[in-house]
């Protein structure tokens, strides 16, 4: 009995958390990263900080809307299928409601000067948030010459070319797999020479 | 018509890979070809979507659904754009829990983690270059560059960075503060000069 109540409470918390994330994410998928990191890792401790980067990596490399991918993934991690459903509904409902209202009053909305002023400010604020996410995630990174090279290449290509980020993620994955293959070879060669002696 | 809306937005949801603005051409192609929105209406809506919360794909789906079939239409298109993500990730999340420690999965992630950090860092650069430098300005000299800078946005960024990092604010508080600063700098201040 107690466990069902706490499960229900957990699902409600997941819903409310992702509702907030959906309501305060302006300017696309990357703007959501700092909010998700704060709420799921630092505040609720649902996800370990070493796992959150993996979840972002998989969510971005998978087909579909990144924000929904991330919400579904985190929700599943926290509370299984129902958790993923609550997280996805939570993240979608704010924009669904707001856009439905805007569609009804589109012309009026476009002429709201003060909304425009507020969002000029928000756009500058979002840059601060994403910068904060870079700092936080960057601190947790594992730095070897290979990963630093990948990071610099990904940063440079994403900043200065129009390449679709999926190729960068795939490139990273393939490089990582070859590195693993090379490690395996080295280990098995090491074993062989060990046996020869 | 509902079926057509559903299939189109399911397709958009499914073939959005890499996210962000990479999918705008696909959306444009589908929505304009069906005659649901004109190119001009779509451009206007992209501008509006930048100042409304939530994922862009969901925003555009809801908007087109509302325009075409009212609330039922919006429900159909929004569900359609969300479903591919939901279904695919459900399977992946389940599999990942089992295979997370697999050395090949770890190997691939070893190469993907630095890419994600690089991508987030590049988002900062791209947002700065569109937010802090005036639109459509041709820069030929250092003087042009300084003349094109959006100083008020840069000041909001600096104040925001200071309070956010110094006082470890909740991200939502920072968004509210920067909205307030935007109204102050762009709405209230011009009244006095």
Secondary structure (DSSP) of B117-139:
HHHHHHHHHHHHHHHHB-TT---
Cα–Cα distance, B193 to A121 (Å, whole number): 20
Out of B97, B120, B154, closest to residue A130 by CB: B120
The chain-wide mean pLDDT, for chain B, equals 87
Give the distance from residue A195's alpha carbon to the nearest chain B alpha carbon, in angstroms. 24
Question: Does residue B111 form part of some domain?
Answer: no
The pLDDT value given to residue A1? 43
CB A77 within 8 A of CB A46: yes
Cα A118 to the center of its chain, rounded Å: 26
- The alpha carbon dihedral of B47, B52, B57, B63 has a sign of negative
Strands (E), chain B: none
pLDDT at B146 over 90: no
Highest mean pLDDT among A73-82, A131-140, B31-40: A73-82
Higher per-residue confidence, B145 vs A156? A156
Cβ contacts (< 8 Å) between A23 and chain B: which residues? 53-54
pLDDT at A194 over 60: no
pLDDT at B29 over 50: yes
The pLDDT value given to residue B136? 67
pLDDT at A100 over 50: yes
Question: Does residue B115 form part of some domain?
Answer: no
Question: Does residue B78 form part of some domain?
Answer: yes
Question: Does residue B114 form part of some domain?
Answer: no
B25 and B90, same domain (yes or no): yes
The 10s digit of each residue's pLDDT in A12-60 is 999 999 999 999 888 667 788 889 999 999 999 999 888 888 999 998 8
Task: Give mean pLDDT, residues B67-86.
Answer: 93
Question: Does residue B45 form part of some domain?
Answer: yes
Residue of chain A whose alpha carbon sits nearest to that of B154:
A124
| pLDDT bucket at A178, cuts 50 / 70 / 90 | very high
The domains of chain A are located at 2-141, 142-197
Task: Give mean pLDDT, residues A143-169.
Answer: 91
Highest mean pLDDT among A6-10, B116-120, B149-153, B155-159: B155-159
Residues contacting residue A62 through CB under 8 Å, at least 6 positions apart: A69, B17, B85, B88, B89, B92
B10 and B45, same domain (yes or no): yes
The pLDDT value given to residue A144? 93
Question: Does residue B117 form part of some domain?
Answer: no
B9 and B68, same domain (yes or no): yes
Domain count, chain B: 2
The pLDDT value given to residue B120? 87
The 10s digit of each residue's pLDDT in A105-125 is 877 776 778 888 888 898 899
A95 to B53: CB separation less than 8 angstroms, yes or no = yes
B24 and B88, same domain (yes or no): yes
Domain range spanning residue B129? 123-192
B123 in reach of chain A (CB within 8 A): yes
The pLDDT value given to residue A86? 97
Question: Does residue B86 form part of some domain?
Answer: yes
B80 and B128, same domain (yes or no): no
Mutate one of A34, A43, A118, A169 to test the B interface: name it (highest B CB count within 10 A): A118
Give the pTM: 0.82
B63 to A148: CB separation less than 8 angstroms, yes or no = no
Mutate one of B15, B55, B68 to test the A interface: name it (highest A CB count within 10 A): B55
């Amino acid at each position: 009995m107690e466990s069902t109540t706490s499960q229900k409470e957990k699902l409600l918390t997941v819903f409310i958390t992702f509702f907030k994330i959906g309501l305060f994410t302006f300017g696309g998928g990357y703007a959501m990263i700092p909010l998700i990191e704060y709420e799921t890792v630092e505040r609720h401790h649902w996800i370990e900080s070493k796992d959150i980067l993996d979840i972002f990596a998989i969510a971005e490399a998978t087909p579909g809307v990144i924000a929904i991918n991330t919400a579904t993934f985190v929700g599943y991690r926290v509370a299984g299928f129902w958790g993923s459903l609550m997280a996805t509904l939570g993240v979608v409902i704010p924009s669904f409601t707001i856009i439905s209202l805007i569609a009804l009053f589109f012309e009026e909305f476009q002429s709201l000067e003060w909304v425009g002023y507020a969002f000029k400010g928000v756009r500058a604020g979002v840059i601060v948030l994403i910068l904060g996410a870079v700092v936080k995630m960057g601190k947790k990174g594992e730095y070897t010459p290979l990963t630093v090279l990948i990071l610099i290449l990904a940063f440079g290509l994403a900043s200065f070319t129009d390449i679709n980020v999926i190729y960068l993620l795939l490139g990273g994955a393939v490089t990582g797999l070859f590195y693993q293959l090379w490690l395996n070879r080295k280990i098995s060669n090491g074993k062989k020479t060990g046996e020869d002696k | 018509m509902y079926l057509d809306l559903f299939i189109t937005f399911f397709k958009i949801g499914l073939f959005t890979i890499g996210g962000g603005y990479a999918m705008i051409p696909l959306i444009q192609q589908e929505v304009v070809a069906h005659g649901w929105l004109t190119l001009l209406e779509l451009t206007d809506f992209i501008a509006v979507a930048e100042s409304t919360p939530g994922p862009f794909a969901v925003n555009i789906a809801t908007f087109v659904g509302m325009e075409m079939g009212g609330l039922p239409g919006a429900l159909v298109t929004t569900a359609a754009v969300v479903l591919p993500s939901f279904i695919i990730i459900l399977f992946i999340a389940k599999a990942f829990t089992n295979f997370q420690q697999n050395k090949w999965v770890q190997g691939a992630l070893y190469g993907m983690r630095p890419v994600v950090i690089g991508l987030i860092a590049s988002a900062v650069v791209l947002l700065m270059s569109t937010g802090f430098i005036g639109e459509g300005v041709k820069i030929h000299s250092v003087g042009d560059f300084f003349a094109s800078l959006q100083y008020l946005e840069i000041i909001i960024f600096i104040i925001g960075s200071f309070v956010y990092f110094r006082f470890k604010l909740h991200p939502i508080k920072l968004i509210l503060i920067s909205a307030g600063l935007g109204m102050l700098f762009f709405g209230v201040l011009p009244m006095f000069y």
